[in-house]
């Protein structure tokens, strides 16, 4: 029998498109919180999310890339403490590639994560905020919840 360990967690999102350069490793810069309890995030460092309390957490990232030619790849990854990739999703270019990336990880207090993106379309490409017009708060979303 398992229940949610606490109310510690957050949901962050970006309210606008973010332009990602060709063959450039970049971080998603979140702009808003839907809610936040016990996670450190600040608009002054919009890509850094600090885990304040040790424990096991589930992390879910949702991104939608702009429609483009079938050229190149698109990558979304979760980076721990600026050096270790916890997980990633890679897809080929094309029409509205969606990325859902998730993991469960045991964090120490003051660990931090960043969401890394990369693409090789041959030019700049946007991470889009709800590009299809019918998805409510789907793209550029990050949810973290302490589960143990």
How does pLDDT run across 90-123, given as a tens digit for each residue? 998 876 688 999 999 999 999 999 999 999 999 9
Residues 6 or more apart in contact with residue 128 via CB below 8 angstroms:
17, 64, 65, 66, 139, 140
Q: What is the pLDDT of residues 13-47, one digit of tens each?
A: 998 999 999 999 999 999 999 999 999 999 999 99
Condensed to tens digits (0 to 9), the pLDDT of residues 65-85 reads 888 777 899 999 999 999 999
SS3 call for 23: coil
**pLDDT at residue 130 greater than cutoff 70:** no
Identify the pLDDT of residue 134.
52
Give the separation between CA 40 and CA 148, rounded to whole angstroms: 18
pLDDT of res. 108: 98
- CA 26: distance to chain centroid? 11
- Other Cβ atoms within 10 Å of 62 Cβ, number: 19
Q: What are the residues facing 130 on neighbouring strands? A: none
Say what the pLDDT of residue 1 is: 42
Give me the pLDDT at residue 101, please: 97
Q: Is the confidence at residue 3, as pLDDT, over 80?
A: no
């Amino acid at each position: 029998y398992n229940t949610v360990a606490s109310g510690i967690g957050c949901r962050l999102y970006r309210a606008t498109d973010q332009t990602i350069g060709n063959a450039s490793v970049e971080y998603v810069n979140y702009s808003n919180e839907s809610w936040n309890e016990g996670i450190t995030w600040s608009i002054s460092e919009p890509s850094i999310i600090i885990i304040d309390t040790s424990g096991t957490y589930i992390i879910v990232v949702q991104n939608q890339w702009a429609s483009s030619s079938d050229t190149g790849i698109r990558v979304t990854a979760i980076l721990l403490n600026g050096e270790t990739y916890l997980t990633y999703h890679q897809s080929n270019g094309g029409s509205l590639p969606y990325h859902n990336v998730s993991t469960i990880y045991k964090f120490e207090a003051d660990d931090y994560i960043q969401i890394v993106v990369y693409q090789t379309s041959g030019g700049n490409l946007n991470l889009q905020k709800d590009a299809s017009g019918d998805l409510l708060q789907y793209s550029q979303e990050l949810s973290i919840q302490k589960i143990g």
